[in-house]
Homo-oligomer: A and B are copies of this chain.
Amino acid sequence: MTAEIISIGNELLNGKTVNTNATYIAQQLYKIGVAISWIQTIGDDAEAIRQALKLALQRADVVLVTGGLGPTHDDITKKTVAEFFNKRLVFREDLLEKVRERFARRGIKMPEINRNQALVPEDVRLMDNPVGTALGMIFEKEGKFTFVMPGVPREMQAMLEDSVIPFLRERCQECRVEVNLFRTTGIPESSIYERIEKDLPDFSSYEIAFLPKFTGVDVRVIRRGRDITDQEKFERFTRMLYEKIGNFIYTTEDKELEEVVGELLREQQKTISVAESCTGGLVQDKITDVPGSSDYFMGGMVTYSNEAKMKFLGVKDESLRQYGAVSEVVAKEMAAGVRQAVGTDIAVSTTGIAGPTGATPTKPVGLVYVGLASADRVMARKFLFGNDRRINKERAAQAALDLVRRYLQGLPLE
């Protein structure tokens, strides 16, 4: 089964927006064994849409279209694609009611222009949009399927996962693949490779990829054919991986580190508080991205100034003067201080130089200390990240969460 993507939107052609949608779709389809053979990126232009559809349907079995489903005058995808497939647009009162309800729930009267969203092609399977008002559509012609999705990444992603992938999965039996993910943090791609290099020839039929992000490296393993049923071989592989890099693996599921930390806290019935300087709220933002995190996260501080560090966390004036705010001593005092102030089982802290300014002769941009405090110990760890402010914040926040994970799992902290 081959597939093509058609990405629609003037913003993709004038350089305003990077086409991450196409990459996302390619990744997700790759996982179920559907290969993308062509991506066409075009503007909100009816003639281009018609031409692109014609070409794609000549070449591929499946076409995925994104973009141009909004309610305004420049969103012409629905109308154009419906015409292409000779489908009349009909107005559906029941769909309008749903859109109205959606706005009503937000306490807003529906703008009239949104009536458009209830205009849908006749006799076409619709796809729900869990995070927006534009519905998706599946057109079928001569055994080939054309999926039309919104261009807003979150809406497209939800629709792809909820509707497109299950639909394709049912229709493509032969292309089964098994994908496993080992998510790591705190170890670079090259070190993972060096540690497992000698063992890789035993698993040459596995497709093993290292997917590096600033917050860690995902090791993705794809198995096909008889490798799917050879459970013993996969157990051997997993054992090898855990022997070599086990402490760095925080999950084998499609989860973020903050979710893993949340589950550990919940299991162990422990509460947590946070004191942030260089991460500026990002650690707590991540922790609270997890639904139900209020069960174990009580609160915390963002202490950017020295005064705030002293007043709210009990950091000693003496320590700030002798070692500076970016130091092991202050990281420890921050963690111990917030733990006591908020009254939690454990606490974590960050202090560092996010950049681009703030460096001193002895403290470069990227220097970060992460502190941890519990009933039985207070410690801190030093990190040296790079030059980019946002990336430094991301990496420091991930390091702080990982220190908590390691503590809760009884792993070495240094």
Please tell me if the beta carbons of B194 and A113 are within 8 angstroms of each other in the complex.
Answer: yes
Is A106's CB within 8 Å of the partner chain B? yes
Partner-binding segment picked from A87-95, A229-237, A276-284, A373-381: A276-284
User: Distance (Å) between the CB of A77 and the closest chain B CB?
Assistant: 14
The residue in chain B whose Cβ has the minimal distance to the Cβ of A26 is: B15
Please tell me if the beta carbons of B291 and A70 are within 8 angstroms of each other in the complex.
Answer: no
Copy total for this chain? 2
Query: Which residues of B sit under 8 angstroms from A269, Cβ to Cβ?
Result: none
Given A39-B13, A188-B111, A388-B131: A342 in contact with B287 (beta carbons within 8 A): no
A113 and B222 alpha carbons, distance in the complex (Å): 23
User: Distance (Å) between the CB of A34 and the closest chain B CB?
Assistant: 11
Query: Which residues of B sit under 8 angstroms from A413, Cβ to Cβ?
Result: none
Please tell me if the beta carbons of A70 and B189 are within 8 angstroms of each other in the complex.
Answer: yes
Please tell me if the beta carbons of B42 and A13 are within 8 angstroms of each other in the complex.
Answer: no
Please tell me if the beta carbons of A385 and B300 are within 8 angstroms of each other in the complex.
Answer: no
Over the window 83-118 of chain A, the binary record of Cβ atoms lying under 8 Å from chain B Cβ atoms (1 yes, 0 no) is 000000000000000000010011110011110000
| Contact among B25, B291, B357 for A355, CB-based, below 8 A | B291
Query: Which residues of B sit under 8 angstroms from A190, Cβ to Cβ?
Result: 71-72, 111-114
Is A160's CB within 8 Å of the partner chain B? no
Please tell me if the beta carbons of B35 and A38 are within 8 angstroms of each other in the complex.
Answer: no
Contacts A18-B20, A281-B300, A298-B307 aside, 6 further interface pairs with beta carbons under 8 A come to A14-B35, A14-B222, A19-B19, A19-B23, A105-B386, A285-B393
Could you jot down 24 A-B contacts, CB within 8 Å? Answer: A11-B209, A12-B23, A17-B23, A37-B42, A72-B193, A105-B384, A107-B382, A111-B190, A114-B190, A131-B386, A274-B302, A280-B285, A280-B293, A289-B389, A289-B390, A289-B393, A291-B355, A291-B356, A291-B389, A298-B305, A298-B308, A299-B301, A299-B303, A307-B343
